[in-house]
């Protein structure tokens, strides 16, 4: 099971000829997740051959048009395609007011349940958790209530050292416990083999933080500290700092500063103003602060390892 | 001044890889008009090099997603592009409730006025009129309140026969009156020349009827009688008649029947179900009833003459 992020759109407010507004598809240990859903997301899903039927979780950072205008259409299409499975949507209360009004006026009766999870932009909190993954929301600082999200694996299972297990004649029935880190103790209590002789370390759980639409703010740095992958908006070049402050956005240089100060391993930048045709300018600027930066380029799949 | 219709989308509810949902751009005697505004319309305007700044009139048939989901994004982008001119939007009351909720929750303060014109799906009425054009709405028969629209030229000015005007020594100052059909009478009342000696007929005013999302209904035929161009939805092949009736849509054969029975001159079909990859099947079926049929193909501009 892998963790893969596909960029469906990286444009800010106004789409360009080649760039759709914000949307990402995250496959995290077979959890199929959509993060934000700008206008045209259902077309992008189709273009990149991602079946909308398998999406079960949608996380929405805030209700600006470039992050939500694809959602009603996606839901209508799911309904037309005879979806029956519930769809979990995480977002601010206002999102559900908007969706409800659409459904009411279009007289749409959904055949599946939308399970509403209302996010709170005033604090950090775990909003989804199961055996495999955990999702935390945290405050961002934009013009309307906005949250970021951290998607993380739960503790990883250890990898079995099959050769050692066979050598010590460990019964198969003990394998799951051993993967979870337990030592082997035989039924009669006479044989005891420590876990580290039977397994390999499988690395630390991976954490991905999504920071969409926020002004540069030290509190965000604390929220995303030490994550493996950070997506951070990077709407403007630093020469437009004044405009960034006015509209509560971040410059490419500042996105690099967040990555550096938060000690993350990799930075993806996106949410670019339509004024930029050459995204490399933004990339180069972010790299002056944080070399391990990449453009969240539409259609690219990043494998998190 | 010409009348040109550019198709921006011809797909019904679910967009396909190559077909966007309903939207058309009509340039009628320099009135720049958008008819319906499905998801992705602002991208399509950009693709086909139609400046959104010059749009001043938007007509929305009904509030199903595939006809309106591009509208909030288009309005946001117009605002970001510093639009100041008012935007006239014609549509059902529910459309404005939806727009108002979007604007409220996204905390958007528009710098331009939206002039709301609420349509009434219970009767035929003139909803816009000036010296050059007139727009009439009329009831369609779909699952929610829906109207069609007829866009028409006002009476055409007659074409001057310059050679004749010179021969009769008509002063220039009389030309405008003569174009409007008046006879020439000299200041002293002694010379009178009939209009038909001084002008050519410039043809009848052109009328374009837009029928989006309706079941096949005789009342629609009466509404669009004798128009020059009829756009009619044609969601299914006739083999899916039952599904058409259930969802209150029209088949290609029925669209051809409407055109034939209403004695129109040309038929454009659109609003195709995503199940059809080959649109020629729909075209051939409509043509069995009405040979003068064309597909409202995305990106094509029809010149109405």
Based on its alpha-carbon atoms, the radius of gyration of chain B, rounded to whole angstroms, reads: 22
Beta-carbon separation of A14 and B94 below 8 A:
no
Residue range A129-140, pLDDT digits in tens? 998 999 999 999
Point out the least confidently predicted range of A9-13, A96-100, A292-296, B23-27. A9-13
Beta-carbon separation of B15 and A46 below 8 A:
yes
- Report, as an integer, the average pLDDT of A23-41: 96
Comparing B185 with B156, the larger pLDDT belongs to: B185
- Report, as an integer, the average pLDDT of B274-284: 94
Query: CA-nearest residue of chain A to B101?
Result: A98
CA-wise closest residue to A41 among B213, B4, B40: B40
Chain A residues closer than 8 Å to B63 by CB: 105-106
- Report, as an integer, the average pLDDT of B23-39: 97
Question: Residue A68: is its pLDDT beyond 70?
Answer: yes
Residue range A209-229, pLDDT digits in tens? 999 999 999 999 999 999 999
- Using the 8-state DSSP alphabet, how is residue B22 labeled? S
Give the DSSP H or E segment for A281.
Answer: helix A280-289
Calpha distance A94→A49 (Å, rounded): 31
The confidence score (pLDDT) of residue B261 equals 98
Beta-carbon separation of B98 and A94 below 8 A:
no
Number of Cβ within a 10 Å radius of residue A165 = 20
The confidence score (pLDDT) of residue A156 equals 79
The confidence score (pLDDT) of residue A42 equals 95
The confidence score (pLDDT) of residue A1 equals 63
The confidence score (pLDDT) of residue B199 equals 93
Residue range A262-293, pLDDT digits in tens? 999 999 999 999 999 999 999 999 999 999 99
- Within 8 A by CB and 6+ apart from A291, the residues are none
Tokens in use for A56? 């079960």
Question: Residue B149: is its pLDDT beyond 70?
Answer: yes
* Number of CB pairs, chain A paired with chain B, less than 8 A apart: 107
Calpha distance A105→B54 (Å, rounded): 29
A43, A99, A119: best mutation site toward chain B, by most B Cβ within 10 Å? A43
Considering chain B, what percentage of its residues have pLDDT values greater than 90?
Answer: 86
Question: Residue B131: is its pLDDT beyond 90?
Answer: no
The confidence score (pLDDT) of residue B212 equals 94
Calpha distance B208→B230 (Å, rounded): 6
Residues from B contacting A (CB-CB < 8 Å) are 13-17, 20-21, 39-40, 42-43, 46-47, 63-66, 69-70, 72-73, 76-77, 80-81, 94-95, 97-98, 101-102, 105-107, 143-144
3-state class (DSSP) for residue A170: coil
Calpha distance A203→A265 (Å, rounded): 14
- Report, as an integer, the average pLDDT of A103-115: 95
pTM of the model: 0.88
The confidence score (pLDDT) of residue B189 equals 86
Query: CA-nearest residue of chain B to A64?
Result: B106
Considering chain A, what percentage of its residues have pLDDT values greater than 70?
Answer: 100
- Within 8 A by CB and 6+ apart from B227, the residues are B150, B207, B208, B209, B262, B264, B265
Please compute, for residue B305, the number of CA atoms within 13 A of its CA located in the half-sphere on the CB side.
Answer: 3
Comparing A290 with B186, the larger pLDDT belongs to: A290
Point out the least confidently predicted range of B80-89, B150-159, B283-292. B150-159
Report whether A38 contacts A63 (CB < 8 A).
no
The confidence score (pLDDT) of residue B303 equals 96
The CA distance from B20 to the nearest CA of chain A, in Å, is 8
Strand pairing report for A192-193 and A184-185: antiparallel
Q: How confident is the model at residue B1 (pLDDT cuts 50, 70, 90)?
A: low
Report whether B133 contacts B153 (CB < 8 A).
yes
Residue range B220-251, pLDDT digits in tens? 999 999 999 999 999 999 999 999 999 999 99
Tokens in use for B247? 């969802």
CA-wise closest residue to B235 among B202, B268, B282, B284: B282
Question: Residue B16: is its pLDDT beyond 90?
Answer: no
- Report, as an integer, the average pLDDT of A285-304: 97
What is the ipTM for the molecules in this complex? 0.85
Per-residue b or e along A269-293, where b marks 16 or more CB atoms closer than 10 Å to that residue's CB: bbbbbbebeebeebbebbbebbeeb
Calpha distance A43→B38 (Å, rounded): 12
Residue range B203-228, pLDDT digits in tens? 889 999 999 999 999 999 999 999 99
The confidence score (pLDDT) of residue B73 equals 95
Residue range B63-79, pLDDT digits in tens? 999 999 999 999 999 99
- Report, as an integer, the average pLDDT of B158-166: 91
The confidence score (pLDDT) of residue A149 equals 98
- Report, as an integer, the average pLDDT of A249-268: 98
Calpha distance A208→A232 (Å, rounded): 11
Report whether A232 contacts A213 (CB < 8 A).
no
Question: Mean pLDDT of all residues in chain A?
Answer: 94
- Using the 8-state DSSP alphabet, how is residue B213 labeled? S
- Within 8 A by CB and 6+ apart from B104, the residues are none
Report the 3 state secondary structure along B129-182.
ECCCEEEEEEECCCCCCCEEEEEEECCCCCEECHHHHHHCCCCHHHHHHHHCCC
Point out the least confidently predicted range of A201-205, A235-239, B25-29. A201-205
Residue range A167-218, pLDDT digits in tens? 999 998 999 889 888 999 988 888 899 999 999 988 889 999 999 999 999 9
**DSSP track, B263-276:** T-SEEEEE-B-TT-
Calpha distance A232→A241 (Å, rounded): 16
Question: Mean pLDDT of all residues in chain B?
Answer: 94
B66 included as an active-site residue:
yes
Beta-carbon separation of A13 and B106 below 8 A:
no
Report whether A239 contacts A245 (CB < 8 A).
no
């Amino acid at each position: 099971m892998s963790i893969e992020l596909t960029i469906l759109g990286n444009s800010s407010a106004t789409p360009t000829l080649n760039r759709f507004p914000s949307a990402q598809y995250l496959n995290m240990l077979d959890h199929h997740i959509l993060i934000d859903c700008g206008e045209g997301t259902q077309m992008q899903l189709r273009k990149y051959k991602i079946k909308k039927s398998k999406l079960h979780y949608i996380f929405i950072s805030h209700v600006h048009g470039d992050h939500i205008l694809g959602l009603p259409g996606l839901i209508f299409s799911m309904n037309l395609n005879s979806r029956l499975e519930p769809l979990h949507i995480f977002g601010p209360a206002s999102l559900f007011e908007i969706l409800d009004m659409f459904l009411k006026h279009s007289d749409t009766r959904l055949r599946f349940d939308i399970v509403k999870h209302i996010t709170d932009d005033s604090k950090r909190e775990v909003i989804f958790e199961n055996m495999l993954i955990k999702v935390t929301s945290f405050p961002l600082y934009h013009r309307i209530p906005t949250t970021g999200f951290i998607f993380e694996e739960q503790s990883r299972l250890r990898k079995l050292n099959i050769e050692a297990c066979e050598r010590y004649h460990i019964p198969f029935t003990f394998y799951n416990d051993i993967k979870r880190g337990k030592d082997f103790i035989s039924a009669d209590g006479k044989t005891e083999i420590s876990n580290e002789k039977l397994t390999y370390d499988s690395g630390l759980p991976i954490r991905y933080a999504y920071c969409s639409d926020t002004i540069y703010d030290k509190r965000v740095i604390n929220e995303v500290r030490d994550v493996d992958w950070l997506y951070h908006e990077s709407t403007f070049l630093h020469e437009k700092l004044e405009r960034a402050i006015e509209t509560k956005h971040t410059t490419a240089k500042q996105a690099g500063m967040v990555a550096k100060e938060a000690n993350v391993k990799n930075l993806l930048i996106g949410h670019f103003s339509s004024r930029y045709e050459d995204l490399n300018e933004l990339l180069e600027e972010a790299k002056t602060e944080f070399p391990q930066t990449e453009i969240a380029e539409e259609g690219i799949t990043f494998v998190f390892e």
